[in-house]
Each structure stands twice: as structure tokens, then as C-alpha cells.
Amino acid sequence: MTIEVWAPRAARVRLRRPGQADVELDAKDAGWWATSVALESGDEYGFVLGDGDGDGDGDTARPDPRSRRQPRGVHELSAWDDPTDFAWTDGEWAGRALASGLIYELHLGTFTPEGTLDAAIGKLPHLVELGVTHVELLPVNGFNGTHNWGYDGVLWYTVQEDYGGPAAYRRFVDAAHAAGIAVIQDVVYNHLGPSGNYLPEYGPYLRDGQHTTWGASVNLDERAVRDYIVDNALMWLRDYHVDGLRLDAVHALHESGEQPVHILAELTERVDALEAELGRTLTLIAESDLNDPIMITAREDGGYGIDAQWVDDWHHAVHVALTGETAGYYADFADPQALPKTWHGGFYHDGTWSSFRGKNWGAPVPAGGPSWRFIEFAQDHDQIGNRAAGDRLSQSLSVARLQIAAVLTMTAPGTPMLFMGEEWGASTPWQFFTSHPEPELAEATRKGRTAEFAAMGWDESLVPDPNDPATFERSKLDWAEATSGDHRRLLQGYRMLARLRRERPELTDPDRAGHTGEHVAPGRWVLHRGAAAVYVNLSETDWAVEVGDDQEIWLATTTAHDGAPVEEGPVTLSPDSVAVIGPRLTPPMSRGHAEYVQAE
């Protein structure tokens, strides 16, 4: 085989393998080096850059920038991984479209007690019963330490060994497909982590003098760096049979105006070609805070052609309505029109003044685009983990309000996404955690985290030490909760809502023209899904809602009728309750079946 590496900064490159003589690589065009060598799965190897004489760092072998496995960590030798060694059983799998889907976001290290891909396979039946169609994994690529959110990755082609490495990843994807669930992988192309990043020794992977919030900016003006990103994306989709990628913080991808095609448009073009080649649905989802519809606009219309994007504005509107919290970026969403506006248009800031940013922000979404292109959620890893204490909604809201959050999420005009444990109102926090082995890095992270929240007016005592192993352990789900009390009843409600989405086309209709809403009184909203409507009562008094002769209650959480189904006349929504009312079925839906089980 031929092994290659891009190392324009090296005057000499050698391949090193334990117990064998070094092999010189030959210089090729554009900074590439190559040699022919036989490697078997599991064989360890690395590259020695320059003319070191064996007395110092100059003779230390570095991991392969495209390493797929790091069995002893990101500072050590790579191990060869052959993707053809795995016997896939998903030959009939054609993928799943995002339209009408339900995404479940999870972090492998805290999803199960074991924190591995194989353990996560054991939870797939739970996701199937919940109605999940797509599971989204937080980043799995190699980082220094044993546990991390995943956004400190430094070797983008690897699967972290603590999760089970590449072999376990293939087992997980194969099992997910057997269960009918598509896999979306969260990937980070805008920065690298603080420990184990040897890419600058190889070449100009990073842009001098330009930084993101998280570190040096990736140098997208280098053709080889762009290929490093595109080839990585294609690897997940082709070699690991992944169905889609969630592209982290694409607003932090910096390139000069000299590039003829934006990196995102280049990426979607290549993925579209791979989709045609494989005959399998592939999906790209952008995380962007720009509120710019260019992300999901077709390439032929001047956009980037990404299939969908996260919508933080929808989260903010729902969060403020449920919690009343209006500090920081939540301030603008105290507007009672925020919920109806995001329900209809996706963005609240669509060219309007953003007080948090101190400028006008965003642009309107053109009419006609399908609503499923917006990923909408009441909780996610960022909006929980980037709070001082990593507290979920379940740690501050009543069960009644958690039920309303469930209904709003599962009837959302876009594609709903749940964060692991949300479906049963998990009481465990999800905090920011790291496992930096370097004491100075651990201390800098702790101080930076504390200072960040102190500047925002948070109580410093609420901020846990990210590097304390207890912070990680606290963030693991307690699966025993899901089987008892209010947790079990909340889970039953989510399952019922997923069934409603499957059975009632109004709840997955992508036509945004039918997604309108009104703020009818303080704490009260009517949110339309075509002929169906969601009535939300967050006020302190009852609200009588008429049910037409051609309508029926699909779901209600009110306690105003002593827990008995309303067989005729208006439904009275008690404070902190919600109802979904839509066209009457033939035969009519049983009110007892439709009633959302109340918490005791």
C-alpha cells in the first residue's frame, strides 16, 4: 500500500514502526510525502519530521494526521485501521429522510454507566419505543484524557478509544440501522483542542493571527486543509455508513474572499455526489448563530445547500416562556410575540435589533422553504451544559411545565430534537467536564470557566470544577428514574406525542404558511399547525377553549376536569397546561386515549 502525509513544513519525513527500521518517505508535489509499506490492522506507526538525531523532540514520532485509531492516546503512535475488516449487515439500508423525523442527541460518555458505544447499543430499543428516527452523537474524535464533551478533539479521523474505538463505532452504526435508526455524527471543523494538536508541525493547518472563541482558526485558504475537512466528512459517510453530519459552529469557519466556492458549498456538492453513488440518503445539518438562510438555500440559488440547521431562537423563545428567565441573550425573547414569530418563521432575529449583540442580526427566511429544515429543541447540550450549574429544565420547572415543553417540542413546525434524558425529565445535570492530564491546562480551564460566569453575574460557587471527576460522574444519566413516578409518566407522554406525530399529518406538514401563532393574553398562546392548533396556558387562571363540532382533543394536560376526559363542550385549561386540538377523526379518537396522563 501507499501511505501519504501532507507535511510542507518538514524537510524530511520518516515512517516509524516499533521494532523496525525507519522508512524514508519521498517528497511529492504540493508538500506531500509518500512511500510504499505494508501495514496490517493494529500495526502501530507514526511520522518523524525533520532531521532529529534521537536526542530530543526532533526525533519523536508524531501521530498520523489522518489516524483512525489512537490506542494509547493522542500523543502516542497511531494504529492502522482497515475499514474493510468489518462485516456489515445493513446492505438493504437506504437511510432516513429528515422530514417527519425525531432526532435524539446524546453524549456517549454519559449516556450509559459504561460510557461506550457497545453499551449504547443496548439502549437502542428505548429509542425505538420513544419514536426516535435519528440519533445524533456528540463528537467522538480523539482528545487528550478519558472524558470530554468532545469539542477538544485534535485527531478528526479517530474514534476515541475510551468509547471503543473504530470497531465499536461500526458495530453501533450497524446495530442502529438494524433498529431502523439513522446516525448523525457531530463534527468540529472550526478549531482544534488544546492538547495533542501536532498539525502545525506538519503544515499551515491554522491561520496565523485569526482566532475563534475556542482557539486558532483553521486555515481554509489552503487546498490541502480544505481536502482534510472534505475527506473527513466523506470518510464518516462512506466508511462508517453514517447517515448525516452535524457541522459544529459553521459561523467560525473563516476563509478569504479569494476562494471561488465557500467550504460549505464545496462540502455539500461532494456529499450530494456521494449520496448518488451510494444510493442512500445523506444529510448535512449546520449549527450557525448567523440566522442567515444562505445555509439552507440551494447552491443553484446562491446558497450553501445544507439540508437543515439548528435554530437557537426557537429554543430561546420556548425557554423564556417556560422559565421567565430574561438575562443575557434571553432578554429579547421576553417579547410575547417571540414564540409565535419563531413558530412561523424560524428566526426571531431576521434583521431585527439584537440587544445581546448590539446590532441588527439575521435575515428573513424566504417563503416556500419546508419547515423541517429547522432543527428545534427545548434543550440541548449547549443550552444545558453552558449554564453555570449545567442544570436541565427538570431541575427548575414543575412537571406540568415539563409537559408543556414536551408538547411544544414534539409539535414544533421544524424537526424536533431531544437531549438524552429529556424524555423522562432526568434529574441529573449535564455539566461542562474535562479530564486534562496537564495540571496547568486543568487550572486554566477552571479559572476561565469561573471568570466567564462571574462576568455574567452568576454565583461563582455554582460553577463546578470541570476537571473534577465528580463533575463527569454527576452528568451521567440515571436510567432507573425512567421507570417510576413522574419520570415514567413524562416518558409515556413523549411516546404518545411521537405516535401523534406519526399518525397526524398536520404535525409533520412542512408548509410554513400553515404555521402561525398568536399571543392572545398574558401567558396564553395559540399556535397553529394547519387545521390543528396548540393552546398553551402559562397564566395563573383557567382558560376555556372551544372545541368545534368537527374537532376533537388530541391531547390535553389540564387538571380542570378532575382528570376525566372532556366528552363535549369546551375544554378548560388549568394554569400550566396545554391542549392540542385538531380535525375529528372517523371514527372519533377516544378522549381517554388522547388524554395526556397527569402527574400526581
Active site (catalytic) residues? 248, 287
Tell how strand 182-187 and strand 206-212 pair up: unpaired
Query: How many whole angstroms from its chain centre is CA 406?
Result: 18
CA angle 540, 542, 544 (to 5 degrees): 145
* Crossing angle (nearest 10°) for helices 485-503 and 399-410: 20
Residue 373 DSSP symbol: G
- Whether the ω angle into residue 587 lies within 30 degrees of 0, i.e. cis, is yes
Q: Is residue 461 exposed (0-12), middle (13-18) or buried (19+ Cβ within 10 Å)?
A: exposed
Q: What is the spatial distance between Cα 216 and Cα 208, in angstroms, rounded to a whole number?
A: 8
Count other C-beta atoms under 10 Å from residue 600's C-beta: 8
Cell 397564566 found at? 539
- Cβ within 8 Å of residue 339, ≥6 positions away: 317, 318, 321, 517, 519, 525, 527
**DSSP states of 316-356:** HHHHHHHH---SGGGGGGGSTTHHHHHHHHS-S-SSEEETT
Instruction: Spell out the alpha helix ranges (H) of 55-107.
Output: none
Residue appearing with cell numbers 467560525: 252
**Which residues, in sequence order, are CB contacts of 364 under 8 Å at separation 6+?**
293, 345, 347, 350, 351
How many of the other CB atoms lie within 10 Å of CB of 486? Answer: 18
Task: Check if the beta carbon of residue 498 is closer than 8 Å to that of residue 128.
Answer: no
**Tally of CB atoms within 10 A around 419:** 25
Cβ atoms of 166 and 69 within 8 Å: the answer is: yes
- Report whether 329 contacts 323 (CB < 8 A): no
Helix/strand/coil for 292: coil
308 φ/ψ angles, rounded to the nearest 5 degrees: -155, 170
414, 351 in Cβ contact below 8 A?
no
- The C-alpha atoms of residue 116 and residue 108 are separated, in whole angstroms, by 6
Q: Residue 409: which H helix or E strand, with range?
A: helix 399-410
Q: Can you tell me the distance from the alpha carbon of 188 to that of 133, in angstroms, rounded to the nearest whole number?
A: 23
Q: Which residue has the cell 490492522?
A: 41
Tell which residue, 405, 399, 420, has the closest CA to residue 319.
405
297 vs 308: CA distance, rounded Å: 10
> CA 9 to CA 250: how far, in whole Å?
28
Q: Cell 489516524: give the residue.
A: 67
